[in-house]
Amino acid sequence: MRVSIALIRPLVVRTVAVTDPRDLLAHLPGTAPYAWIRRGEGLVGWGVAARAEVPPGPGRFDWAREWLASLFEGARIDDQVGLPGSGPVAFGSFTFDRDVPGSVLVVPRVVLARRQGQAWLTTIGEAETLPVAPATEPGRIRYGDGTLSAPEWQHVVAQAVAKIKAGVLDKVVLARDLRATAEREIDPRALLARLADRYPECYTFSVDGLVGATPELLVRHIGRSIESLVLAGTVSRGTGPAEDAARAAELYASAKDREEHGYAVASVRQALAPLCAELHVPDEPDLLVLPNVQHLATRITGRLSDGASVLDVVAAMHPTAAVGGTPTDAAIEVIRELEGMDRGRYAGPVGWIDSRGDGEWGIALRCAEVSGREARLFAGCGIMGGSDPAAELAEAQAKFRVMQYALEG
């Protein structure tokens, strides 16, 4: 069901420079925070000036772009900063499966931002002054199986491997979920603070109850320049530098992981090439080292050939092989057949867009859907013909630890 709300029409928007707020997250009130933070920079927001539940279907990104264009075109904007992310901004997250409802866009009433030594405050209508009390801790956490138990999920992985060996597809990404129940209501700000501190290289986000820290940048769009960070191929961290180096070398030399990474890079190249006048794709991947895992990583850059907005680029790219599989259509069908669960917004695009069409969007990985005392955690693994179900389960458990740390501290 399509629902859109504009609490303030027309939008009366004012953006002014402010002194450095330092810790952006420390300024968030406790009610429904919005956030996109990396290395202490980014945007946080609160309050609701406008909100839309995006209808599912193949045209959902077009609908979202048109709704925002209508909203922003009628706005009275006094932007004294003029940088990407100044003026009115919408935070959004989309479901992984285009046919599943739950995608949302929200324009906060207040956005506080800092980037490259500059900081600004955007307000819509009368500034909303809310008390900022310290974030509360959730207390003791109990975990329970999600849709499938660990042995059941390993069986699903084995079924996927059999389909790949039979030639049905080349790769599929399978996800599993984990249920968490807290002693007290979960305050997203406590999770955000821990994630931003421990995973500064990731994009820490909060949009409408979806909270996480993703390492994967789907697209950064500034003017006509775009950038994407492709991750596929993973190994857990070792117990020390020597073991870390050995595992990194093993990952880099792994035919299975290099093939998996190659599929992901090829899918991004294929999606971006028609949109770009220039596109640079490195021949060899780098290594992204995070506190819990190491990934094969390729940073792709380009220059758009026309005035496409960041949502147009997101529409062309999602789902990449890094979160779906190869070929895409066959992988989506296998996911629907084998996973046995609704991913919701896990592995879907998450990020922000401003009135110029600039923005940053990641893939919602290392995340949880949070509601009251409950949280639903997600993790996924790329399955290839040479995948071992026990090893894939261990990789998923390593990925769960990001949000378990956020909940437990």
Q: What is the mean pLDDT of each run of 10 residues along the chain (409 residues)?
A: 60 96 94 94 96 96 96 94 97 97 96 95 82 91 96 97 97 97 97 97 97 96 95 89 92 92 93 95 94 93 93 96 93 95 97 97 98 97 95 95 96
Would you state the pLDDT for residue 133? 87
The structure tokens listed for 312 are 């147009």
pTM above 0.75, yes or no: yes
Catalytic residue among 73, 128, 163, 171: 171
Would you state the pLDDT for residue 31? 81
Catalytic residue among 163, 216, 259, 395: 216
Cα torsion 267, 273, 276, 282: sign: positive
Active site residue 399: no
Active site residue 216: yes
Would you state the pLDDT for residue 128? 64
| Alpha carbon distance 98, 244 (integer Å) | 38
Residue pair 267/320 in contact (Cβ under 8 Å)? The answer is: yes
Q: Which residues contact 312 (CB under 8 A, 6 or more apart)?
A: 61, 65, 275
| Alpha carbon distance 364, 378 (integer Å) | 10
Q: Does residue 101 sit in helix, strand or coil?
A: coil
DSSP 8-state assignment for residue 12: E
CB count within 10 Å of CB 158 equals 14
Residue ranges and CATH numbers for the domains of the chain are 3-132+144-408 (3.60.120.10)
| Alpha carbon distance 73, 223 (integer Å) | 18
Cα torsion 23, 40, 289, 214: sign: positive
